[in-house]
Structure 1
Amino acid sequence: MDSRKIQVCLSPALLPFYDKENTVAVVIDIFRASSSICYGLANGAEAIIPVAEVDECRAYEGRMGCLLAAERNGEVVPGFDFGNSPFSYTANQVKGKTVVLTTTNGTRAIQQCLDASTVAIGSFLNITALVEWLRGQDRHVLLVCAGWKNHVSLEDSLFAGAVVARLKTSSSLLDDSAHMTAALFAEAREDIAGYLNNSAHALRMRHLDLAKDIAFCLQQDLVSTIPVLHNGRLVGLPTEGEAATTGIPA
């Protein structure tokens, strides 16, 4: 595609200002929804249904083959099977199951992208596969950072910059946010974990004893699954279907 636009939406609050026609929207919630979605589908989950509200998730209670996952403010909502920690998305827990998921930021951002041509999910866990797939798409790219309650988050912005840096060509049309995040990634690339050490969400998660989740979500190329939204369900692309082979045990 000549002169393909690559744009970065730094917060879901800005989404109404973006034209999503003929566009792949890549939703990014590094800590932790997008990482867990990629990992869960790679580990054999049949589908992940993203919903915005806790009550929408609870409405699936009792349906055969469904697991209910709900997270708010970094913690599992009482009464649900689990939240959005990748340690809950291993093969022995999700293989063959449909996970209905609601999170503080990520699933709400997904719901706000339904007018895009395609909605995909990005994380460090699948970054190389994602970029290779995006290269083959004859559409514009909008990288949507889920952030934290409509505030900008450093980890999502940094990942967006990593994708921009890999994806852009001499003919790409980058918006200012794409330039900014690519520069951010260039500064952080030698020590991403260290760069994010004092980010607001990393501090929040460590306060909740979730340091292992942070380390897990910053692993690169753990899986090659690319989640895409189809009829309200996130599924791996047909060419994918492998189980994760490293990281936490299946």
Structure 2
Amino acid sequence: MQKNIQVCLTPALISLYDLSNSIVVVIDIFRATSSICYGIENGAEAIIPVATVDECRNYGRGCLLAAERDGKVVEGFDFGNSPFSYTAEKVAGKTIVLTTTNGTHAINESKKTAYQVIIGSFLNLDAVCDYLKAAQKDVVLLCAGWKNKFNLEDTLFAGAVVHQLKGEDYFLDDSSTAAEDLYLLAKDDLKAYTGKTSHSERLKNLGIEKDIEFCLNVNTTQSIPVLKGDKLVRLG
């Protein structure tokens, strides 16, 4: 049976998609989903995505609290969404409550109706693609974007997934074709291509170029974070 693969270029469009039979891959390359993948790989027990800073602040004791807005750690929180805050030394065995400008919004929007929500990044690209091939479900690649607007880096990752899956009897929508074309332009030097992005400029202005480089590492983790109830945990 033919399956569909679709790229939703921003959470503002997610209501246009039927997610009831779809695995939704949430993508926020700079930096939320990269950090989530790294944290789960490094032994975090769970990461709980929440919508607001207040909800994160009031979640309760016994959790690490992480909040980011406009690329910066919100004052008074343990950390934000830099991947370097999600090392094994900091997160192994811990539950983290996380709110970010874009990524957690995309997660919360997709979970309302999706068959399943998983988290994708360049760090776990092959693991995500292998899982999707085996699952035999429709796929929606949800780009978190920037404040409900299109962004380039999330679309590039969506294109990387499309490139691996398109030979597996999927029907591609036009945004999938466009995303793959962008990825094929960029794939030989992701760092240079994503240097064009507005969000990389924001992060450079904050002096965190190392985060950008880290988030462009390909296949350095094997874990797939999956949403179970309100918690992201390791699949499998």
- CA deviation after TM superposition for structure 1 residue 170, in Å: 5.9
For 1:161 and 1:171, the matched residues in 2 are separated by 16
- Identify the residue that residue 32 of structure 1 maps to in structure 2: 31
- Identify the residue that residue 78 of structure 2 maps to in structure 1: 81
The normalised TM-score by structure 1 is: 0.93
- Identify the residue that residue 89 of structure 2 maps to in structure 1: 92
Deviations 1:147-195 (A, max 9, x none): 0001111000000000000011263111100000001111111111111
- Identify the residue that residue 176 of structure 1 maps to in structure 2: 174
- Identify the residue that residue 16 of structure 1 maps to in structure 2: 15
Task: Check conservation: 2:133, 2:168, Cα contact below 8 A.
Answer: no
Q: Measured at CA, do residues 79 and 3 of structure 1 come closer, stay the same or move farther in structure 2, by a change above 3 Å?
A: same
For 2:81 and 2:213, the matched residues in 1 are separated by 15
**Identity within the alignment, %:** 57
- Identify the residue that residue 58 of structure 2 maps to in structure 1: 59
Deviations 1:183-210 (A, max 9, x none): 1111111111111112101111100101
- Identify the residue that residue 149 of structure 1 maps to in structure 2: 147
- CA deviation after TM superposition for structure 1 residue 89, in Å: 0.2
For 1:182 and 1:191, the matched residues in 2 are separated by 15
When the two chains are superposed, the root-mean-square deviation of aligned CA atoms in Å is 0.8
The count of aligned residue pairs is 235
For 2:137 and 2:168, the matched residues in 1 are separated by 16
For 1:59 and 1:38, the matched residues in 2 are separated by 24
- Identify the residue that residue 118 of structure 1 maps to in structure 2: 116
Structure 2 gaps of 5+ residues are none
- Identify the residue that residue 103 of structure 1 maps to in structure 2: 100
Deviations 1:80-123 (A, max 9, x none): 00000000000110011000000000000000001100000000
- Is 1:72 the equivalent of 2:69? yes
- Identify the residue that residue 243 of structure 1 maps to in structure 2: none
For 1:169 and 1:162, the matched residues in 2 are separated by 13
Task: Check conservation: 2:123, 2:217, Cα contact below 8 A.
Answer: yes
1:224 partner amino acid: Q
Deviations 1:209-228 (A, max 9, x none): 01000000000011000000
Out of 210, 213, 216, the residue aligned to residue 214 of structure 2 is: 216
- The list of structure 1 runs, each at least 4 consecutive aligned residues, that deviate by more than 2 angstroms after superposition, is none
Give the SS at the match of 2:18.
coil
For 2:194 and 2:225, the matched residues in 1 are separated by 25
Structure 1 gaps of 5+ residues are 239-250
Higher helix content, 1 or 2: 2
1:137 partner amino acid: A
The normalised TM-score by structure 2 is: 0.98
For 1:95 and 1:214, the matched residues in 2 are separated by 23
- Is 1:138 the equivalent of 2:136? yes
Deviations 1:124-160 (A, max 9, x none): 0000111001101121000000000011110000000
